[in-house]
Structure 1
Amino acid sequence: MSGYLTTHILDTARGCPAEGIKIALYHVSGNAHRKIAEAVTNADGRTDAPILAADAFKTGTYELIFFCGPYLRETGQSDDDPLFLDQIPIRFGMADAQAHYHVPLLLSPYGYSTYRGS
Protein backbone atom coordinates (compact mmCIF):
# COMPACT_ATOMS: atom_id res chain seq x y z
CA MET A 1 0.00 0.00 0.00
CA SER A 2 1.21 3.50 -0.79
CA GLY A 3 1.29 6.30 1.74
CA TYR A 4 -1.30 9.05 1.99
CA LEU A 5 -1.95 12.29 3.88
CA THR A 6 -4.96 13.35 5.93
CA THR A 7 -5.70 16.33 8.15
CA HIS A 8 -8.42 17.78 10.33
CA ILE A 9 -9.04 20.92 12.38
CA LEU A 10 -10.38 21.08 15.91
CA ASP A 11 -11.52 24.40 17.35
CA THR A 12 -10.12 24.11 20.87
CA ALA A 13 -11.63 27.43 21.99
CA ARG A 14 -15.18 26.25 21.20
CA GLY A 15 -14.59 22.55 21.78
CA CYS A 16 -15.79 21.37 18.37
CA PRO A 17 -14.61 20.47 14.87
CA ALA A 18 -13.91 23.47 12.62
CA GLU A 19 -16.17 23.29 9.56
CA GLY A 20 -15.74 25.24 6.34
CA ILE A 21 -12.03 26.03 6.46
CA LYS A 22 -10.14 25.97 3.18
CA ILE A 23 -6.86 24.04 3.17
CA ALA A 24 -4.22 24.10 0.44
CA LEU A 25 -1.41 21.57 0.10
CA TYR A 26 1.89 22.53 -1.53
CA HIS A 27 4.91 20.46 -2.52
CA VAL A 28 8.05 22.35 -1.47
CA SER A 29 11.38 22.09 -3.27
CA GLY A 30 13.96 24.64 -2.16
CA ASN A 31 12.20 27.99 -2.42
CA ALA A 32 9.63 26.73 -4.92
CA HIS A 33 6.07 25.90 -3.84
CA ARG A 34 3.68 24.04 -6.15
CA LYS A 35 0.04 23.73 -5.13
CA ILE A 36 -1.10 20.14 -5.57
CA ALA A 37 -4.41 19.99 -3.69
CA GLU A 38 -7.14 22.05 -2.09
CA ALA A 39 -10.04 21.03 0.14
CA VAL A 40 -12.56 22.39 2.64
CA THR A 41 -13.28 20.87 6.03
CA ASN A 42 -16.64 19.18 6.58
CA ALA A 43 -18.83 19.07 9.72
CA ASP A 44 -16.30 16.75 11.39
CA GLY A 45 -13.45 19.22 10.71
CA ARG A 46 -11.99 16.74 8.21
CA THR A 47 -11.66 16.70 4.46
CA ASP A 48 -14.00 14.32 2.64
CA ALA A 49 -11.05 12.40 1.21
CA PRO A 50 -7.31 12.31 1.93
CA ILE A 51 -5.77 15.64 0.95
CA LEU A 52 -3.05 13.60 -0.75
CA ALA A 53 -4.31 10.24 -1.94
CA ALA A 54 -2.21 7.11 -2.26
CA ASP A 55 -2.06 7.32 -6.06
CA ALA A 56 -0.47 10.80 -5.88
CA PHE A 57 1.72 10.24 -2.83
CA LYS A 58 5.45 10.96 -3.03
CA THR A 59 7.94 11.46 -0.24
CA GLY A 60 9.30 14.96 0.24
CA THR A 61 8.66 18.28 1.92
CA TYR A 62 5.13 19.66 1.98
CA GLU A 63 3.26 22.61 3.39
CA LEU A 64 -0.36 22.77 4.44
CA ILE A 65 -1.87 26.24 4.58
CA PHE A 66 -4.99 26.52 6.72
CA PHE A 67 -7.09 29.60 5.82
CA CYS A 68 -8.54 30.14 9.29
CA GLY A 69 -9.29 33.88 9.19
CA PRO A 70 -12.78 33.70 7.67
CA TYR A 71 -13.76 30.93 10.11
CA LEU A 72 -12.54 32.90 13.14
CA ARG A 73 -14.50 35.96 11.98
CA GLU A 74 -17.67 33.99 11.14
CA THR A 75 -17.70 32.25 14.51
CA GLY A 76 -17.28 35.59 16.33
CA GLN A 77 -13.92 34.65 17.82
CA SER A 78 -12.03 37.60 16.41
CA ASP A 79 -12.76 40.85 14.63
CA ASP A 80 -9.23 42.25 14.79
CA ASP A 81 -7.86 43.86 11.66
CA PRO A 82 -5.47 42.35 10.88
CA LEU A 83 -6.24 39.04 12.54
CA PHE A 84 -3.58 37.59 14.81
CA LEU A 85 -3.99 34.26 12.97
CA ASP A 86 -5.28 34.30 9.42
CA GLN A 87 -3.35 31.82 7.28
CA ILE A 88 -1.49 29.14 9.21
CA PRO A 89 1.33 27.34 7.35
CA ILE A 90 2.67 24.02 8.58
CA ARG A 91 5.72 22.65 6.78
CA PHE A 92 6.62 19.00 7.29
CA GLY A 93 8.46 16.12 5.68
CA MET A 94 7.16 12.73 4.64
CA ALA A 95 9.97 10.17 4.33
CA ASP A 96 8.14 6.82 4.43
CA ALA A 97 6.51 5.97 1.09
CA GLN A 98 4.22 3.42 2.75
CA ALA A 99 3.00 5.47 5.75
CA HIS A 100 -0.22 7.23 6.59
CA TYR A 101 0.66 10.76 7.62
CA HIS A 102 -1.94 12.72 9.57
CA VAL A 103 -1.31 16.40 10.33
CA PRO A 104 -4.10 17.91 12.46
CA LEU A 105 -4.48 21.54 13.50
CA LEU A 106 -5.72 22.44 16.98
CA LEU A 107 -6.97 26.01 16.59
CA SER A 108 -7.91 28.94 18.81
CA PRO A 109 -8.00 32.65 17.90
CA TYR A 110 -4.56 33.34 19.39
CA GLY A 111 -2.73 30.04 19.19
CA TYR A 112 -2.49 26.67 17.52
CA SER A 113 -0.65 23.39 17.74
CA THR A 114 -0.06 20.38 15.54
CA TYR A 115 1.47 16.94 15.74
CA ARG A 116 1.87 13.82 13.66
CA GLY A 117 -1.30 11.92 14.33
CA SER A 118 -2.47 8.49 13.31
Structure 2
Amino acid sequence: MTGISTHILDTARGQPAENVPVTLYKQSEGGWIEVGQGTTNNDGRITGLATDEVNLPEGVYKLDFAILDYFKQLEQKCFYPEVSVIFEVCDDRHHHVPLLISPFGYSTYRGS
Protein backbone atom coordinates (compact mmCIF):
# COMPACT_ATOMS: atom_id res chain seq x y z
CA MET A 1 0.00 0.00 0.00
CA THR A 2 1.12 3.53 -0.76
CA GLY A 3 1.50 6.21 1.87
CA ILE A 4 2.72 9.80 1.72
CA SER A 5 4.61 11.56 4.49
CA THR A 6 6.65 14.72 4.83
CA HIS A 7 8.79 16.73 7.17
CA ILE A 8 10.21 20.25 7.06
CA LEU A 9 13.67 21.33 8.15
CA ASP A 10 14.63 24.99 8.47
CA THR A 11 18.18 24.82 7.14
CA ALA A 12 18.99 28.41 8.18
CA ARG A 13 18.28 27.56 11.83
CA GLY A 14 19.25 23.89 11.69
CA GLN A 15 15.94 22.93 13.29
CA PRO A 16 12.63 21.34 12.32
CA ALA A 17 9.92 23.78 11.18
CA GLU A 18 7.06 23.55 13.66
CA ASN A 19 3.39 24.53 13.16
CA VAL A 20 3.44 24.66 9.36
CA PRO A 21 0.10 23.80 7.70
CA VAL A 22 0.42 21.28 4.86
CA THR A 23 -2.31 20.17 2.44
CA LEU A 24 -2.15 17.14 0.17
CA TYR A 25 -4.03 17.15 -3.14
CA LYS A 26 -4.56 14.60 -5.91
CA GLN A 27 -4.88 15.75 -9.50
CA SER A 28 -8.12 14.87 -11.26
CA GLU A 29 -9.64 15.79 -14.60
CA GLY A 30 -11.42 18.70 -12.92
CA GLY A 31 -8.42 20.03 -11.00
CA TRP A 32 -6.94 19.35 -7.58
CA ILE A 33 -8.89 17.40 -4.93
CA GLU A 34 -7.84 17.66 -1.29
CA VAL A 35 -7.05 14.24 0.18
CA GLY A 36 -5.29 15.16 3.43
CA GLN A 37 -4.05 17.95 5.63
CA GLY A 38 -2.12 18.51 8.82
CA THR A 39 0.28 20.73 10.72
CA THR A 40 3.89 19.92 11.44
CA ASN A 41 4.71 18.91 15.01
CA ASN A 42 7.74 19.99 17.08
CA ASP A 43 9.87 17.56 15.04
CA GLY A 44 8.72 19.15 11.75
CA ARG A 45 6.70 16.04 10.85
CA ILE A 46 3.07 15.32 10.12
CA THR A 47 1.56 12.06 11.24
CA GLY A 48 -1.52 10.82 9.44
CA LEU A 49 -1.29 12.98 6.31
CA ALA A 50 -1.72 9.92 4.11
CA THR A 51 -0.65 6.76 5.84
CA ASP A 52 0.03 3.24 4.68
CA GLU A 53 -3.43 2.35 6.00
CA VAL A 54 -4.87 4.23 3.04
CA ASN A 55 -4.23 2.73 -0.38
CA LEU A 56 -3.61 5.82 -2.49
CA PRO A 57 -4.15 5.32 -6.18
CA GLU A 58 -1.41 6.05 -8.67
CA GLY A 59 -1.45 9.57 -10.01
CA VAL A 60 -0.09 13.07 -9.61
CA TYR A 61 -0.15 14.62 -6.14
CA LYS A 62 0.69 18.03 -4.73
CA LEU A 63 1.85 19.06 -1.28
CA ASP A 64 1.20 22.72 -0.39
CA PHE A 65 3.36 24.03 2.46
CA ALA A 66 2.09 27.34 3.93
CA ILE A 67 5.40 28.66 5.27
CA LEU A 68 4.65 32.41 5.53
CA ASP A 69 3.27 32.27 9.09
CA TYR A 70 6.21 30.14 10.21
CA PHE A 71 8.65 32.87 9.20
CA LYS A 72 6.40 35.60 10.62
CA GLN A 73 6.57 33.85 14.01
CA LEU A 74 10.36 34.09 13.75
CA GLU A 75 10.05 37.76 12.73
CA GLN A 76 11.78 36.99 9.44
CA LYS A 77 10.83 38.05 5.97
CA CYS A 78 10.58 35.31 3.39
CA PHE A 79 10.51 35.31 -0.37
CA TYR A 80 8.27 32.26 -0.82
CA PRO A 81 5.04 32.48 1.23
CA GLU A 82 3.97 29.04 0.01
CA VAL A 83 5.77 26.09 -1.52
CA SER A 84 4.02 23.57 -3.77
CA VAL A 85 5.69 20.27 -4.55
CA ILE A 86 4.10 18.21 -7.33
CA PHE A 87 5.11 14.57 -7.70
CA GLU A 88 3.87 11.30 -9.17
CA VAL A 89 2.89 8.14 -7.30
CA CYS A 90 3.48 5.29 -9.72
CA ASP A 91 4.13 2.30 -7.45
CA ASP A 92 3.02 0.95 -4.08
CA ARG A 93 6.10 2.10 -2.11
CA HIS A 94 5.81 4.67 0.64
CA HIS A 95 6.50 8.20 -0.66
CA HIS A 96 8.35 10.55 1.72
CA VAL A 97 8.69 14.12 0.43
CA PRO A 98 10.88 16.25 2.73
CA LEU A 99 11.10 20.03 2.38
CA LEU A 100 14.20 22.03 3.30
CA ILE A 101 13.47 25.73 3.76
CA SER A 102 15.22 29.01 4.47
CA PRO A 103 13.82 32.54 4.22
CA PHE A 104 14.90 32.89 0.59
CA GLY A 105 15.06 29.36 -0.78
CA TYR A 106 13.85 25.77 -0.58
CA SER A 107 14.62 22.32 -1.90
CA THR A 108 13.03 18.89 -1.83
CA TYR A 109 13.87 15.30 -2.71
CA ARG A 110 12.46 11.78 -2.72
CA GLY A 111 13.07 10.50 0.79
CA SER A 112 12.77 7.04 2.25
What interval of TM-score do these two structures reach, taking the shorter chain for normalisation? over 0.9
Letter in 2 for 1:117: G
Counterpart-to-counterpart distance in 2, 1:38 and 1:100: 17
After TM superposition, give the deviation of residue 77 of structure 1 in Å. Answer: 2.0
After TM superposition, give the deviation of residue 84 of structure 1 in Å. Answer: 1.6
Letter in 1 for 2:39: V
Letter in 2 for 1:88: V
Matched, 1:95 2:93: no
Q: Secondary structure at the match of 2:76?
A: coil
Counterpart-to-counterpart distance in 1, 2:41 and 2:90: 28
After TM superposition, give the deviation of residue 30 of structure 1 in Å. Answer: 4.7
TM-score by length of 2: 0.93
After TM superposition, give the deviation of residue 13 of structure 1 in Å. Answer: 0.7
Contact 2:61–2:87 at 8 Å: present in 1 too? yes
Counterpart-to-counterpart distance in 2, 1:69 and 1:22: 10
- Alignment RMSD: 1.2
What is the identity percentage for the equivalent residue pairs of Structure 1 and Structure 2? 41
| Count of matched residue positions in the alignment of Structure 1 and Structure 2 | 111
Residue 20 of structure 1 is matched in structure 2 by 19
Counterpart-to-counterpart distance in 1, 2:31 and 2:76: 34
Structure 1 residue ranges, 4+ long, deviating more than 6 angstroms after superposition: none
TM-score by length of 1: 0.89
Superimposed CA distance per residue, residues 62-86 of structure 1 (whole angstroms, 9 cap, x where no aligned partner): 00000000001111221xxxx5211
Letter in 2 for 1:32: G
Segments of structure 1 that go 5 or more residues without pairing to the other structure are: none
Q: Secondary structure at the match of 1:71?
A: helix
Listed as ranges, the matches of 1:1-118 within 5 Å are 2-30=1-29, 32-49=31-48, 51-54=49-52, 55-78=54-77, 83-96=78-91, 98-118=92-112
Letter in 2 for 1:52: A
Q: Name the stretch that deviates more: 84-93 or 26-35.
A: 26-35
Counterpart-to-counterpart distance in 2, 1:93 and 1:77: 33
Q: Secondary structure at the match of 2:46?
A: coil
